[in-house]
Structure 1
Amino acid sequence: MYRIKDEWGEFLVRLARKAIEEYLRTGKEIEPPKDTPPELWEKMGVFVTLNRHNVPPQAALRGCIGFPLPIYPLVRATIKAAIYAAVDDPRFPPVKLEEMDNIVVEVSVLTPPELIEGSPDERPKKIKVGRDGLIVEKGIYTGLLLPQVAVEWGWDEEEFLAETCWKAGLPPDCWLDEDTKVYKFTAEIFEEEYPRGPVKRKPLIPQSQD
């Protein structure tokens, strides 16, 4: 059962694009619309991803930032994450307004992270590609990868863990350390079919468990 209705997902994607384009024009953060569904004022984690249109998934990323924890009302978190993804992702130069004609906006609404308990070598069995996103945490280092990333790259569970360690700036086998914490979460993902186009729920295809 979905927490986020399709029409709410569409609302959030449209809002994310509006927030970015308005900020790029004026330098100001927009306020949540008056017609925001009441449910979207609940605090939830969210990420906004910007992808270049008609580019292979592995090369499409133009920005991705968000809030893993439910610290803001979802509507406000979406506005903030959208702006940060456009201008504050350290991997990319700030997006220019004219680029938005060729960028697809994607919004991922997250469940709260759940610590994976037990022996580190059992961790791959406790996650599922196509369902889970991961957070790796060790000391001051933290890395997060959304569920769709593992699907797009064709990783299995161990590869997903290793890549999340890399994202945290840690050795790829750090998920085997007792003092490394690994969290999993799920996401409901909505994206434009093309820039400013219809918004659809993005299905994730689980890997076969052979």
Structure 2
Amino acid sequence: MISDRAGQYLVEIAKKTIEHYIETKETLEIPEDHPIELDEKLGVFVTLNKNNALRGCIGYAEPIEPAIKATIEVAIAAAFNDPRFSAVTKDEFPILDLEVTVLTKPEMIIVAHPDQYFEEIEIGEDGLIIQKGYSRGLLLPQVATENAFTIEEFLEHTCMKAGISADSWMDESCDVYKFQGQIFK
């Protein structure tokens, strides 16, 4: 994926982006001196935590933008547009912990029977996307470990994130994808 140096750079850019947006309400320009590897199109999520609790998390599951541009866009979205939370304030910004997760391209898990998902998904390594019709839910790899999920619970919670019944992953009309993520803090 990307080097540790580039990953740490993304964390710093996410912080600068949010701070700049708080001050100016404008999007940070892409720095000209950014690591060249960040010009590659990659899926990126920015997660904000406050006192070890989720405070915002938005990202691109698919590699639709260069990693540097995606990080700037989703940092603003996570801080100010996550519908689950109010916008980050200037006062709380200094106590937030930021995390950037860079994703591999999601790959559909092809199984003949839903029980085979248990052989294909590895807790702590894989993130999941579950899609049924227009409903789609995504959970990053760290969510399963942080919540001590079994594979079945991980599948169920990803379904619930999609707004569909927890057992939908057993339905053949439901597509299950996995991806991996590099986490930088």
TM-score (norm 2): 0.98
Matches within 5 A, 1:161-200: 161-191=155-185
Measure how far apart 1:150 and its partner are: 0.5
Which residue number corresponds to residue 62 of structure 1?
55
Deviation by residue 1:76-122 (Cα, 9 ceiling, x = unmatched): 00000000000110111111121111100100000000000012221
Q: 2:123 maps to what in 1?
A: 129
**Cα displacement (A) at 1:124:** 2.1
What is the alpha-carbon distance in structure 2 between the residues aligned to residue 108 and residue 116 of structure 1? 21
CA distance in 2, matches of 1:136, 1:153: 18
Aligned to 2:109: 116
2:69 to 67, 76, 89: 76
For 2:152 and 2:164, how far apart are their aligned partners in 1? 15
Counterpart CA distance in 2 for 1:109 and 1:48 is: 9
Structure 1: gaps spanning 5 or more residues: 192-210
The residue type paired with residue 22 of structure 2 is L
Q: Partners in 1 of 2:42 and 2:136 — Cα distance?
A: 19
Match of residue 136, structure 2, among 114, 118, 142: 142
4+ aligned runs moved over 6 Å, structure 1 = none
State how far apart, in whole Å, the 2-side matches of 1:105 and 1:99 are: 13
Work out the number of aligned pairs and report it: 184
1:88 to 81, 86, 97: 81
Unaligned runs of 5+ in 2: none
Structure 2 counterpart of 1:23, from 21, 24, 35: 21
> Residues 23-54 of structure 1: CA distance to partner in whole angstroms, max 9, x if unpaired?
1111100111111111100100000000014x
Match of 2:92, SS state, is helix
Write out per-residue CA displacement over residues 46-70 of structure 1, whole angstroms, 9 at most, x where no aligned residue: 00000014x3xxxx10000000000
- Is 1:160 the counterpart of 2:154 in the alignment? yes
Question: How many Å apart are 1:5 and its aligned residue?
Answer: 1.1
Q: Secondary structure at the match of 2:12?
A: helix
What RMSD over aligned residues (CA atoms) do the two structures have, in Å? Answer: 0.7
Rounded Cα–Cα distance in structure 2 between residues aligned with 1:183 and 1:161: 11
Output the CA distance in 1 between the equivalents of 2:116 and 2:57: 30
What secondary structure, in the 3-state scheme, does the structure 2 residue paired with 1:97 have? coil
Deviations 1:1-25 (A, max 9, x none): xx21111111000000100111111
TM-score relative to the length of structure 1: 0.86
Percentage identity across aligned positions? Answer: 52
CA–CA distance in structure 2, aligned partners of residues 139 and 31 of structure 1:
37
